[in-house]
Amino acid sequence: MESAAQKKGRLREELRRDRELRFTPESWLHLLQSSELREAKVIASYHSYGFEPETKDFNEEIIRRGKILLLPRTLPDNDIEWVIWDGSASNLKRRGKVQEPIGPKYINEHLIDVVIVPALAIDPFGNRMGQGGGSYDRALSRTQAWKVGIVGAAELIHQNLPSEPHDQPLNAAATPTLLVRFNQDDLNRL
């Protein structure tokens, strides 16, 4: 019988292939209309690359609105630390395929209001399929922030994704045209 980790690995490859075939750069600026983001002072996002949902205009708008924007920096143990980013390309450093911020670690994780989370797919229970390193699950487990994953329209799926005990559910999922909130109270009773 296939373990959850094996199912996730197989599904992750399928989702990556599907994303590459139908990828269209789109904007997630509509997220800034949500009450959670309007009221947020500190927002953790990410610097997209390749076929990930594009965050450039979203991140620029967060900075333009005077909010603190954090980007992740991956540590040797695959955990994430957050760094304030001012939008300047000179404050990014390439690490493999990813551009990571340069600067001191943001030590006030408890002040993060919203985390924008990359995902390959999100199911009806707020479970996400990430890239497989567990980095975001570690970081998400340490914050009470509102967690929203961004995916293409076809990546908000109806089937349940395989999950493991360390996986952190999201509060919401966003496509280029929708924002779907998950009722965490109901999910915690399941």
Contact between residue 128 and residue 73 where contact means Cβ atoms under 8 Å apart: no
Residue 170 maps to a domain = yes
Question: Count of domains in the chain?
Answer: 1
What is each CA distance from 86 to 30, 57, 63, 164, in whole angstroms?
Answer: 21, 13, 7, 35
State the pLDDT at residue 162: 78
Instruction: List the beta bridge partners of residue 69.
Output: 43
Closest by Cα among 73, 70, 37 to 146: 37
Residue 61 maps to a domain = yes
Residue 190 maps to a domain = no
State the pLDDT at residue 189: 36
Mean pLDDT in consecutive groups of 10 residues from the start of the chain, 190 residues: 76 78 81 95 94 92 98 94 96 91 96 96 91 84 96 90 85 94 58
Residue 20 maps to a domain = yes
> Is residue 150 within a helix (H) or strand (E), and if so which, with residue range?
strand 146-150
Residue 70 maps to a domain = yes
Residue 110 maps to a domain = yes
Residue 131 maps to a domain = yes
Q: Residue 150 is which amino acid?
A: I
> Is residue 56 within a helix (H) or strand (E), and if so which, with residue range?
helix 56-64
Coil, strand or helix at 100: strand
State the pLDDT at residue 185: 55
Instruction: List the beta bridge partners of residue 84.
Output: 70
What is each CA distance from 28 to 1, 33, 75, 109, 150, in whole angstroms?
Answer: 39, 10, 27, 24, 8
Q: Is 179 exposed, middle or buried (0-12, 13-18, 19+ CB in 10 A)?
A: middle
Structural domain harbouring 40: 4-185
CATH number at residue 38: 3.40.50.10420
